[in-house]
Structure 1
Amino acid sequence: MLCRKFFAATAIALMSVPAMAAENITWWDFFSGGDGVRMKALITRFNAEHPDIKITGTTLEWGVPFYTKVRTAVAVGQGPDVMTYHLSRMPLGLKEGVLDEVTDKDLTDAGLTKDSFFPAALQAASGDDGKLHAVPFDIHSIVLYYNTKFLEGSKFLDGNGKLTGISNLKDFEEALAYAKEKGAEAPVSYATGDDGATYRVFYTLFRQLGGELITGNEVLAGDNLQKAAKAIEVMTNWQTNEWQPEQAEYEASVALFTSGKSAFSLNGVWEVPTMVDLEKKGSLGYKWGAVQVPNLMGTQTTWADSHSFAIPANNKLTPEKRKAVMTVIGWMEKNAIAWADAGHIPAFKPVAESAEFKKMEPNATYAALADTASYDPRSSIAGVGSPIYDAAINIISPAIHGYAEPMAAAEQMKSDLQNVLK
């Protein structure tokens, strides 16, 4: 009887002890559309698998509004526990002092190592001193989408209907001319009236020429001015030959390709889900593919950026909460195959090199670009929503539409950006 009373009392006492509260992690991101749907699904899965940690997510407006909010919140010590961050913004983020260091212990707590990431992404996530300030999540780039119906009967399709035979600018322009003859309204579509798209195409051509946009504290130093003019000249030639749309906004440029009016599209990997969904619905009416942007100008490289995870400075995290944050980051990296479904290349090599990813098309076809990616210059005037993007819409876009000679545009770009850099 005594034992029975003892155990009953003990059980009641245990029931009266409150359950240990989950570590609540405040999360900020800028993902909308398909990316937003996928990230919310990942957060839901994480929360279901980790009763001891709860992510409370908030999605803010992409671009300058997001980074302005981060800067303000960090200044008053009210930032989130973890946030997404474009690696192209890393130099500016370090200059503003909004990013905490990600230490070796942090990586250990996440179950990660530096060797687990592609070198280009890891370098972009680090300061000039080599210290890590973010954990790369993906590598996203522009790729070359193609519509096979405008290339049938040409040397540009192999026996399996895959793009082939484009190894320089002459080949590509021959393919554009062929597509024009076959009835393509815009043989190559990209958003010629948009800052981001114009910049990404320009920067890809410029970097393929071996160009360096910013050297030390100088914009377009030495022969880089001529290389910038050459890249603008190529884009202008596409306009003169009516191979690209005139002053197209982003949505219009996408519609030209999805509606079957373009043979090629130079756009981000983030449009892969759009193409896959249309194909599943049977509403495309043609076969398509996507490949790494070919080596048109002499060097195999492509503009790229990365979404990453970062811990804001001035965060006042307890050791327990910081470890929980790194647990979140580590889990996201190891489950990045779900993120790759949005067209991205996982920055975490064990996922990028997995059998599951290698079966994912067209991602696996263009995944090699991760090894040759060209990130924006390591400068506080570069990155998403930066003065460099402003130069693309205010200088490069008008030039390719005939409002300025390529060299004059390059010289204005140099002058304007140099003034900002000072």
Structure 2
Amino acid sequence: MRTLRNLMGATAVSLIALPAVAQETVVWWDFLAGGDGVRMKALIDGFNAEHEGEIVIDATTLEWGVPYYTKVRTSAAVGEGPDVMTYHLSRLPLALEEGILTPITDEDLEMAGLSRDDFFEASVEAASGDDGTLYALPFDIHSIVLYYNKSFLEGTDYLDADGNLTGIESLEDFNAALAAARENGSETPLSYQTGGDGGVWRVFYTLLSQQGGEFIVDGEVLPGDNADKAVRALQIMTDWSNEGITPAQAEYEASVALFTSGTSAFHMNGVWEVPTMTDMAADGTLGFEWGAVQVPVLLDEAATWADSHAFAIPVQGDEEMTPEKRAAVMEVIGWMERNSIGWASAGHIPAYVATVESEEYASMEPNSTYASLADTASFDPRNPIAGVASPVYDAALNIMVPTLAGFLTPEDAVAQMQADLSGMMQ
């Protein structure tokens, strides 16, 4: 008995002498504002509460677009960046050219409790280099969808008995639906951001992709018949503009307001506006019943512009991240993926397949209605001059927007984009 008491006493002393396990702080940067920001903050708070005393996320939200990516690039070079950050996969080719991201290995995935098979294939491809090395983990697939105001379609062939959009299987069908909506009182039947780079590019790229077209092929801009397909896409958009179907040079906020105010029967915009519609419908300020579906096949095949928010780990100058920090970062990423149903409420399609296949996601409307676009997502060209806040987006603003206003023909616009952008890749 004395021996047991002595052993217990010695054990107690040794436990007291053990140093406390240090809490790991994970420095986090994102560019998420508005509804996205609210939902991400809730996820971060949930993680911190669940991992109290072990890991804490120290989060900072920076300005979206060029300022964000410029800061990431400069901070990575001097080792003053975050431990983990949100990143658009459309920016991955430029990041690889600049060498600012660290590979995510199979060992990293194991620490996070993840595997490549947990994600939609298109998003994994967009997150990988040409050699298959993974450089980010996709968190969502966000695309444009077609929002519709049911009141303008009542009594037409484009609303079924359950109040769902139907009968649009071609461009001719869609134009007929737009005409029917106009007859029912819609002043501007289709709204999208016609005066800004993002809205114009996303609609154009959807129409190009639905023809099987590619914007950049082997370092060439719109080679071969891709130029003809680009002209066709721009001509469709120009025709809508000339006929007063779409607004003239509408900025982003104005394009949304045209739909939410009951002026436009249809609205092409990102899934990220689903919370806007949901919240307005809930508080009674929307004034009509609405729905959202994957952009129908207007041309030859199913395809829709898409991008992904992803998690990436930047280089730290000449320093290596400690194993303990790396493990904490992967715990953060893995937890976020497994809890991505909270991110789905922002309208995004989670890239984590298990979330999309869950009963909880299946009950989310209209999210589950357009979840199929994850299989037909058309990501931006894999080239350093493409993606969010890139020269390609600048071309959409400086060349495509004037084309819709009648200052350039679609043919001249395509020729100018070829000349301007090809020079940037030499």
For the aligned pair, the TM-score class normalised by the smaller chain equals: over 0.9
Q: Which amino acid aligns with 1:139?
A: I
Q: Which structure 2 residues correspond to residues 48-197 of structure 1 after superposition, within 5 A?
A: 48-51=49-52, 52-197=54-199
Query: Which aligned runs of 4 or more in structure 1 are off by greater than 6 angstroms?
Result: 1-13
In 2, Cα distance between the equivalents of 1:157 and 1:283?
Answer: 23
Q: Which residue of 1 aligns with 2:36?
A: 35
Q: Which residue of 2 aligns with 1:20?
A: 21
In the alignment, structure 1 residue 331 sits paired with structure 2 residue 335 = yes
1:409 counterpart (365, 388, 413): 413
In 2, Cα distance between the equivalents of 1:386 and 1:317?
Answer: 30
Shift of 1:238: 0.3
In 2, Cα distance between the equivalents of 1:168 and 1:396?
Answer: 23
Shift of 1:12: 8.3
Shift of 1:227: 0.6
Q: Which structure 2 residues correspond to residues 206-217 of structure 1 after superposition, within 5 A?
A: 206-217=208-219
Query: Structure 1 unaligned runs (5+)?
Result: none
In 2, Cα distance between the equivalents of 1:102 and 1:17?
Answer: 33
In 2, Cα distance between the equivalents of 1:339 and 1:218?
Answer: 37
Q: Which residue of 2 aligns with 1:382?
A: 386
Q: Which residue of 1 aligns with 2:351?
A: 347
Q: Which residue of 2 aligns with 1:302?
A: 304
In 2, Cα distance between the equivalents of 1:13 and 1:208?
Answer: 68
Q: Which residue of 2 aligns with 1:395?
A: 399
1:126-172 alpha-carbon deviations (Å, 9 max, x no partner): 00010000000000000000001111110000001100000000000
- RMSD of Structure 2 on Structure 1 (CA): 1.8
Shift of 1:15: 5.9
Q: Which amino acid aligns with 2:320?
A: K
In 2, Cα distance between the equivalents of 1:399 and 1:207?
Answer: 20
1:95-140 alpha-carbon deviations (Å, 9 max, x no partner): 0101110000100110001011101000000000100000000000
Q: Which amino acid aligns with 2:157?
A: K
In 2, Cα distance between the equivalents of 1:180 and 1:402?
Answer: 23
Aligned pairs, how many?
422
Q: Which amino acid aligns with 1:169?
A: L
Partner of 1:377, secondary structure, is coil
In 2, Cα distance between the equivalents of 1:11 and 1:100?
Answer: 43
Query: Structure 2 unaligned runs (5+)?
Result: none
2:280 counterpart (268, 271, 278): 278
Distance 1:2 1:101, change over 3 A: closer
In 2, Cα distance between the equivalents of 1:265 and 1:255?
Answer: 10
1:347-397 alpha-carbon deviations (Å, 9 max, x no partner): 010111111111111010000000010000000000000011001010011
Partner of 1:54, secondary structure, is strand
In 2, Cα distance between the equivalents of 1:177 and 1:414?
Answer: 34
Shift of 1:20: 2.1
Partner of 1:83, secondary structure, is strand
Q: Which residue of 1 aligns with 2:323?
A: 319
1:72-100 alpha-carbon deviations (Å, 9 max, x no partner): 01111111111110000000000010111
Shift of 1:6: 10
Question: Percent identity at matched positions?
Answer: 62
1:4-23 alpha-carbon deviations (Å, 9 max, x no partner): 99989987886686632211
Partner of 2:161, secondary structure, is coil
